[in-house]
Amino acid sequence: MQQLLAQLQQLLASPGATGPVNWDLARQVAASHLSSVGDPAVTPDERDNVVETLQLADLWLDPTSALPSGVHTSEAWNRNEWVYHTLEVWKKLCDPVASRMVGAMNDLVPQEAQSTIGPMQTMVKALGGALFGGQLGQALGTLAAEVLSAGDIGLPLGPAGTAALVPANITEYGDGLSIDAGEVRLYVALREAAHQRLFGHVPWLRGHVLHAVESYAAGIRVDRDAVEEAMSRFDPANPESMRELQIEGIFSPESSPAQTAALTRLETALALVEGWVCHVVDTAATDRLPNAVRLAETFRRRRAAGGPAEQTFAALVGLELRPRRLREAAALWAALTTHRGIGGRDSVWDHPDLLPTEADFTDPEAFAQNPPDLDFPDLPELGS
């Protein structure tokens, strides 16, 4: 019991325990996972190769995009550095969902008893934050061992203007493709540099995408029965039992019309971002990389299917971070290039109301040939 109380006191005293997710614990668990699977240090040669490759990729993108370079800093990260540099955005995405889970745990206490247990509520919150932090840390650690760059999953996770590759993951991924390692690295760099152009020169886009994620998360419902069943497996006399708790499946599959609409907006935004990146990258690479077509198809399948880490994250927060209509979005951007040119295509990013809707995916030619005649006031930059 003394050991249990000491561990609970440590959880309560941790600075990361004040919110719905114990982020201190999440970082520790992610680091522990990465130490078990390995986290190779970035060598000076790898760092130099990444910087040179990103510079070359940016040059290749110049003729294919009306948006100028968005890369201010080029970095080569190991896996732990990816977790560290993306954690602030994960907090924005995960805290709202975790708050509802912790709230559901508090609701398990009978209403008539809540006024008498006092400190126990604080303990329940700390336990919930630790539970979510531990499993989210495991998911982030797994994801860090798979991602190839800062913008690999389509969200602006890293610092603005920082293009970053993860050399260890690119090497492992390329080993399974039987393609020259330098060619794979350059293709990844093209994708990363394209993401930086888009999010760096469309000031409202970062806020637009993150708000779409937050709007969807705001409507997620927690299955109280699943939370109660999970908590019933926690033995206060055995702190190690917390390691065995699983919170996958705590989200109710029921969706309101508003939640369905929020999910559609999110999937459309992710598909438009990924479709634009695929289109400009493939245009830049087709005549330069021997395996450009093969790489393009491989990466489309990879993004559309999602890896084990993305599936784990979806189970934890009820959200799949993959564009479902990637091919249709890429075809739409190609049609825009044909009918409006590169400048006309990229001017669609001038305002969110100019973007194609999900309905436009079914007839890209019609959308491309009929630009709207709209006059918008200047749009302030949304919060990141």
Per-residue pLDDT of 175-219, as tens digits, reads 989 899 999 999 999 999 999 999 999 999 988 887 877 777 777
Both tokens of 158, joined, read 């890293």
Residue 377 included in any domain: no
36 lies in some domain: yes
Q: What pLDDT is attached to residue 126? A: 73
Structure confidence at residue 46 as a pLDDT band (50, 70, 90): very high
pLDDT at 37 > cutoff 70? yes
Q: Is 40 left (phi over 0), alpha (psi -120 to 50) or beta?
A: beta
> Considering the domain boundaries, does residue 378 fall inside one?
no
380 occurs within a structural domain:
no
Residue 375 lies in a domain: no
pLDDT in tens, 142-170: 889 999 999 988 888 999 999 999 999 99
Calculate the average pLDDT of the chain. 81
More confident residue, 10 or 329: 329
Model pLDDT for residues 232-284, shown as the tens digit of each residue:
666 555 555 555 555 555 666 556 787 778 778 888 888 899 999 999 999 99
| pLDDT score recorded for residue 288 | 95
Which has the minimum average pLDDT: 111-120, 155-164, 287-296, 363-372? 111-120
Query: In sequence order, what DSSP letters do the residues of 290-312 get, joined into one string?
Result: TTHHHHHHHHHHHHHH--HHHHH
Q: What is the pLDDT of residues 131-142, one digit of tens each?
A: 778 878 888 998
What pLDDT was estimated at residue 384? 42
Choose among 16, 12, 20, 17: nearest CA to 100: 20
What range does the domain containing 346 cover? 2-369
Q: How many other C-beta atoms can be found within 10 angstroms of the C-beta atom of residue 86? A: 23
- Count up the domains in the chain and report the number: 1
- Does 312 fall in a domain? yes
Predicted TM-score (pTM) of the model is 0.84
Higher-pLDDT residue of 114 and 89 is 89
383 within a domain of the structure (yes/no)? no
Strand partners, 76: 165
> Confidence class of residue 347 from pLDDT cuts 50, 70 and 90?
very high
In a domain, residue 212? The reply is yes
Q: Is 285 helix (H, G, I), strand (E, B) or coil?
A: helix
- Most confident of the following: 7-21, 115-129, 259-273, 370-384: 259-273
Report the 3 state secondary structure along 138-195: HHHHHHHCCCCECCCCCCCCCCCCEEEECHHHHHHHHHCCCCCHHHHHHHHHHHHHHH
| pLDDT for the residue 1 | 46
